[in-house]
Structure 1
């Protein structure tokens, strides 16, 4: 996932005063620049490179020679970092800006460069409505160039030296990037063009830019007050004929770009989205074979290159992670559709920053991450290239996941430095995941919910099918598997699954004999309806940010209560072994602390996976042809199961986390840490708004679940009565105090505050349920007889506290 969001916001630019067509020049009043003889501008000493534009270097000035045939042609401009300051948080290969521009002839011997946005479209350009749309979509003029001369064959020649040296909103750093890096004004005397190279469909410009900065986080900037960056600007000519568009459908997880559609046949505008995908088409001579269902090679293969800065021992695994996607593209009808290769280091015609080449860039970063962005043609969604960011410390991340989640199942995981084969396997899975993003796929956090928990422990089944149907889920490793299951690595690692193959088929399989993408969408809708009816496991669960508990990151199985019980069993095996597994000569317990914190995070994830079943609901996007509800209540039995899980695994204090061998070496505050987790959970579960939510969702029907019954189940699971055990009673008393405190807060919710009306939650019956539950607790406390003076004092204080709250409510 990329850390810096590269928006498409534009700096303030000169705007044309009237609507125009790309085929017509703008404006008519300006002082004409003087046209010089060609040989006076492009002298015999010129260094010339032929390409998309002919590029000339004359007396330290750079000139572009632009033919009429490239006027009004869309050009994708991508600015990337080539060199960055030490510890700056940005790295070579990362994107710094992206625009689509075109050149047009202006008045008075001017050549304009406009920025194209593509945010508004018309369904049929022959409609009268198209004129109104055009009049409301004037493209900003980002730059105006004097035409210095024309070549003997009529090409316009412009001086681009200052344009690339000086700051401009079209091709320099995105304003958001500049803000994040705290960059100020450029220093002209330390900003220069390093090289300009021309290729058949692109021009590559390398510059060095120095900025003043107020940032102190970058060591060099703090010392000097300046930041120097090496940048590469790729100008890539987009295809004259855009790829056939494919409209987004929320039931299949693709990256997509939004546009507003105007159509005379519709009575309102429509929000539409184009999915991002590579242009995979059969060769003309193979079209009929493709139609018959034969596998054919695409006219243009998807190729990823491995950064030569990548350690050699990891390159085969990164390559394998790319090539693993070949099986998915076969489901779309293409063989050998995607491949990875090592970068040809001796080929001087190729550049790592060239936007024609997709590269897995190895970033010397302490950040434990990787991400898979893509650059696409905004007209059609065609992916032009991708520079995957592979941070060195992603190995640290996957090491820790693997040891913590499946250490009890795989002896290879029980040390701080994995063998190359194991680490290579883990790199391969991350590579596949990130490449999935680069071919257009979003996360599918619901994929893991489509595997029954019992299958995760079935050696034959899980080794054959994998523990999740999509590598685009954050399913990580099979933490449900138990040591006695004897499951091998095929059943522990993620892999490209059934959903991934289906999604690639839906996005990439060619359609024939349809007029446009709107007709295509009818066929694609039928594919979804039929496929999901035949195999519900192909469900796309979204990014895991909604209220559906089936769609969560880092979870497994169709029942997380059962799955996470198994996960906790494995954590209970890991904790006593951590001191041994993390031992290295000379280590001052840094390894132990790191891995122990990872165990606590994993345990906490298990709790919150389950928590989402209390108060959430199932959300299944459907078209009108599909039976069933979009929104469904979670079955009452599942809610009760979740409440019971929290009671067993948190409200019963998890003292197993604080193994004496660990606490003897690390500073821990178990009482405070456990109380904080318990308090956070109870704050949610006994909140007045939560009760109100339960009232709305479970008021009637087969799954009716009253708030009284809900609170009764909560109390049964979470109200722990002191027993005389000196240690546990400390936790139980504290838990009871928290429990009563939350109920009193719910009671007080209904008290009006001066000058403010009550909300629906505050006005609801929630506080009445809290009152009756407090009354019940008081009655039970009065009948209880916990042993010991402290327990008796606690009981007296609790009764007094409840009395005060109830009397206060009557005033």
Structure 2
């Protein structure tokens, strides 16, 4: 709304009409309203004014935005973060509270509307006929409405008061309802809530507030003592580029975070779902454009810069910086040199704030949480990453210490104590820094990366030190646990590093494309890049987040052979287990160190077992392909792999892992070998003899002539569970328990609990797998009848089993 239009409306009275410009430049007529005051009556001589994106005025404890006409209808990315939080709430300064994209719009009756922009639907451009239909069907919600208080006669800028908008509670720049419910916040305590400051900068505004909420929760000391929780918050309002960066469309063969939208296209017969990857805007300078096109390395127009939180202990800062700078080599593959750098925060520069959304920061949290994370704030229109606040919790050092002691203690003497030397801990910090920065650059986990390394190469000193033990730092492939002491492998072959997949993924996401009309044409270029690259080097495969059925894509695993890798890992665990009391000893410690490290070692053993388990029973390899690529998307796991996995379970689980309970440990901390091993064997037999797994085996046998039949599969499991007794009283007790579990599990297959409860059976429960299980049980009974019993307890055990089988078969027939 121009100054002249507003002035004319005020003079003409309530019956006159004024022109209101909407987000979509439509012009509508609305009756004028009174209430606009003279500028100097609102912005008085005593005002404290700060120019910037908007001029911000402070008058008598009231805050005003003075908005130029050019910034109406401009998208503003608004990010609210914690600055300080209540004790023990496990929320930390720097973490995100809320994120919205907003715009101010001149509205009816001398109002300014603040609308929320969502970007869930799109058209190719505003000239398409469908554009109007999309706009009509997607009215943007009005989050707030402000009276126009005054108009600056010098430039026509509109003045609104925004005090209550930021001071009071709302779901746009404060807690959303779900978050309030989760941390049990009640109403806003108005007398204990205020604005600290609102500062304006060239492209952003920073709002610092304190907000206090009532709470009935006693989960935190503050809530229990005061019945209230107080937070300090910072809201950054960042003006998004007038012209969005060109989108780069997501492809599931490369692991990027992405924003989904629905495209309406005049030339398409249906809508299509697309996603835009999240990435920084990285472009060559105009004077270097031709060099870049020729393949010469050039510096970008704008470097990606990460600052190190000054709260970070000084001795760890160089390692965090190195973890960022390690990505420079990856960006060189995309054509840029010095594209990314880390710097220490300039503590003497009062013009900079770590809550300012223009700056990417690795924030250091004084937290007992053993973690780190790498989020991104991106322009929802284009996927352009505006900034990232990597979260670094102090106790991540505890996590990497324990990983390294257990996974590398057998091959690296430096790992054999509770307090690592600074150089070793610094190296571990560096790898975690690289991983989290990878996320902040837009990269997702690639849990299939480690499967691209042949298992025996992990023991080849020259090869693994040159190439690393996984092709991606974005995998959860912590350390080389496959290497054995006699391999003499140095740290270059033990630590993760940025690998060939990471460099290729950065190239795919960041290399500029020229001479194409739009992102949809770019998509065809990107598709060809993928096809050509994977054909040349299949190790660039993106294996996803490890949540699907493909056993190649798992967290914490290594190599292309889970059985061999886990066997090697267990050999190293057997080496270190009796040494843990010595490695964990510290003066005055009440064996708390031993308890902690033993728990980590036991968890590592379970990881090895679960890695193998995922190769069992009808799973599939899943390799996403476009129609131009040769080969199948879905392939059954080879029979020999399944057979090897069952053999592993027999050797490493059904043969009780008593080595996990050495006297040197069990006489220092409380352990119960028989209970824990019994539970372990019970859980894994329940998995192996699960109706769903047998159903998968049945389906695979029909689809793949080389697959296990259900009968063959059950016989393999039986060989594992029904080994001859050893004559060792302890081992035989475990063996008899396994046999009882085995019979019990078959009984559950023959007569599912759903029948007793009167529920509908699943396809797995009613399938032919039940018949095969019954035939298997009859066969087992016949074998038991002729099986010799070497002792009285064995004879009684055999008698009980036969009685139990007869009872199961009788009940199943009813």
Q: TM-score, normalised by structure 1?
A: 0.96
Task: Identify which range, 672-681 or 713-722, moves more after superposition.
Answer: 713-722
CA distance in 2, matches of 1:41, 1:22: 31
Answer yes or no: is the 8 Å Cα contact 1:721–1:786 preserved in 2: no
Residue aligning to 1:531: 533
CA distance in 1, matches of 2:491, 2:428: 11
CA distance in 2, matches of 1:530, 1:235: 42
Task: Output one character per residue of 1:730-751: Cα deviation in whole Å (capped at 9) or x when no partner.
Answer: 1011010001111111111399
**Counterpart check, 1:320 vs 2:286:** no
Matches within 5 A, 1:68-217: 68-151=69-152, 152-217=154-219
Residue aligning to 1:644: 647
Answer yes or no: is the 8 Å Cα contact 1:102–1:115 preserved in 2: yes
Residue aligning to 1:63: 64
Compute the displacement of 1:642 (Å).
0.5
Answer yes or no: is the 8 Å Cα contact 1:323–1:339 preserved in 2: yes
Residue aligning to 2:39: 38
Answer yes or no: is the 8 Å Cα contact 1:33–1:147 preserved in 2: no
Match for residue 504 of structure 1 among 490, 503, 506: 506
Answer yes or no: is the 8 Å Cα contact 1:22–1:104 preserved in 2: no
Residue aligning to 2:487: 485
Corresponding pairs, count: 793
Task: Output one character per residue of 1:94-125: Cα deviation in whole Å (capped at 9) or x when no partner.
Answer: 00000000011112211111000000111232
Task: Identify which range, 292-301 or 779-788, moves more after superposition.
Answer: 779-788
Answer yes or no: is the 8 Å Cα contact 1:20–1:138 preserved in 2: no
**Counterpart check, 1:809 vs 2:812:** yes
**Counterpart check, 1:24 vs 2:26:** yes
Compute the displacement of 1:27 (Å).
7.3
Answer yes or no: is the 8 Å Cα contact 1:476–1:554 preserved in 2: yes
Answer yes or no: is the 8 Å Cα contact 2:123–2:263 preserved in 1: yes
Compute the displacement of 1:784 (Å).
1.7
**Counterpart check, 1:729 vs 2:708:** no
Answer yes or no: is the 8 Å Cα contact 1:76–1:101 preserved in 2: yes
Answer yes or no: is the 8 Å Cα contact 1:19–1:136 preserved in 2: no
Residue aligning to 2:685: 682
Answer yes or no: is the 8 Å Cα contact 2:656–2:734 preserved in 1: yes
CA distance in 1, matches of 2:754, 2:218: 49
Task: Output one character per residue of 1:598-620: Cα deviation in whole Å (capped at 9) or x when no partner.
Answer: 01100001111100000211011
Match for residue 695 of structure 1 among 695, 698, 703: 698
Residue aligning to 1:661: 664
Compute the displacement of 1:286 (Å).
0.7
CA distance in 1, matches of 2:613, 2:256: 29
Match for residue 378 of structure 2 among 376, 379, 382: 376
Compute the displacement of 1:484 (Å).
0.3
Give the match's secondary structure for 1:97.
strand
Answer yes or no: is the 8 Å Cα contact 2:325–2:341 preserved in 1: yes
Matches within 5 A, 1:768-807: 768-807=771-810
Residue aligning to 1:618: 621
Gaps spanning 5+ residues in structure 1: where? 1-17
Alpha-carbon spacing, 1:214–1:754, altered in 2? closer, same or farther (3 Å): closer
Answer yes or no: is the 8 Å Cα contact 2:374–2:439 preserved in 1: yes
Residue aligning to 1:53: 54
Compute the displacement of 1:779 (Å).
1.7
CA distance in 1, matches of 2:315, 2:483: 30
CA distance in 1, matches of 2:437, 2:178: 26
Give the match's secondary structure for 2:172.
coil
CA distance in 2, matches of 1:805, 1:795: 15
Answer yes or no: is the 8 Å Cα contact 1:49–1:56 preserved in 2: yes
CA distance in 1, matches of 2:199, 2:516: 41
Runs of 4+ aligned structure 1 residues displaced above 3 Å come to 18-21, 24-27, 749-759
Alpha-carbon spacing, 1:367–1:754, altered in 2? closer, same or farther (3 Å): closer
CA distance in 2, matches of 1:670, 1:778: 30
Alpha-carbon spacing, 1:528–1:213, altered in 2? closer, same or farther (3 Å): same
RMSD after superposition: 1.5
CA distance in 2, matches of 1:733, 1:705: 27
Compute the displacement of 1:26 (Å).
6.7
Answer yes or no: is the 8 Å Cα contact 2:721–2:735 preserved in 1: no
Matches within 5 A, 1:287-302: 287-302=289-304
Task: Output one character per residue of 1:393-447: Cα deviation in whole Å (capped at 9) or x when no partner.
Answer: 0000000000000101100000000000000000000000000000000000000
CA distance in 1, matches of 2:122, 2:251: 19
Answer yes or no: is the 8 Å Cα contact 1:481–1:566 preserved in 2: yes
Gaps spanning 5+ residues in structure 2: where? 1-19
Q: TM-score, normalised by structure 2?
A: 0.96
Matches within 5 A, 1:229-628: 229-615=231-617, 616-628=619-631
Give the match's secondary structure for 2:205.
strand
Task: Output one character per residue of 1:121-162: Cα deviation in whole Å (capped at 9) or x when no partner.
Answer: 112321111111111110011111111111121111111111
